[in-house]
Structures are given as C-alpha cells and as structure tokens.
Amino acid sequence: MPIANITRTMRRILHTHARIADDAKEAIQECISEFISFITAEANGWCHNDYRRTVTPEGVLASMASLGFNDYLEPLI
C-alpha cells in the first residue's frame, strides 16, 4: 500500500497538528503488507483445496473467517 494512502488514513485519526514520523509510516506499511500476505496465503489454500487457480472475494472472506477476523466481514460484504 502506498505511503500516501497510509498517511492520509493516519491523519484522519490523529489531531490536526500531529506529526507522523517516517518510521511510523513504514512500520504501518509493513504491518499492512504482512496482513495482506497472511490473508492471501490462507485464501490461496482454500483455492488449492477446491482445485481452483483464482482467488475470489468469497475465498478471501472465508479465509478471514477461518483466521478469526469475523469483525471485518460485515463491512467488507
């Protein structure tokens, strides 16, 4: 995910005059990338078990549910 998107999202939460260190932005970027990789690997496993080659939105949602991210399913649907 681009740093600009991360910065924009972080600024929505923080006070108007808060400063965000570059290291903090990079740390969040690494966490986001790791989270996406984690979910994608699980979804890929679901596809492999179903003898499919394409990860579908349903596969991503099923993988998130199996990993315990149920709180995020409703907003994504």
Q: What is the pLDDT of residue 77?
A: 87
Which numeric CATH code is attached to 3-72?
1.10.20.10
Q: What is the C-alpha to C-alpha distance for residues 11 and 17, in angstroms, rounded to an integer?
A: 9
Domain boundaries, the chain: 3-72
Q: What is the pLDDT of residue 9?
A: 92
pLDDT less than 50: residues of the chain: none
Closest by CA position to 43, among listed 74, 69, 66, 12: 66
Print the SS3 string covering 5-73: HHHHHHHHHCCCCCCCCHHHHHHHHHHHHHHHHHHHHHHHHHHHHCCCCCCCHHHHHHHHHHCCCHHHH
Q: What is the C-alpha to C-alpha distance for residues 50 and 41, in angstroms, rounded to an integer?
A: 14
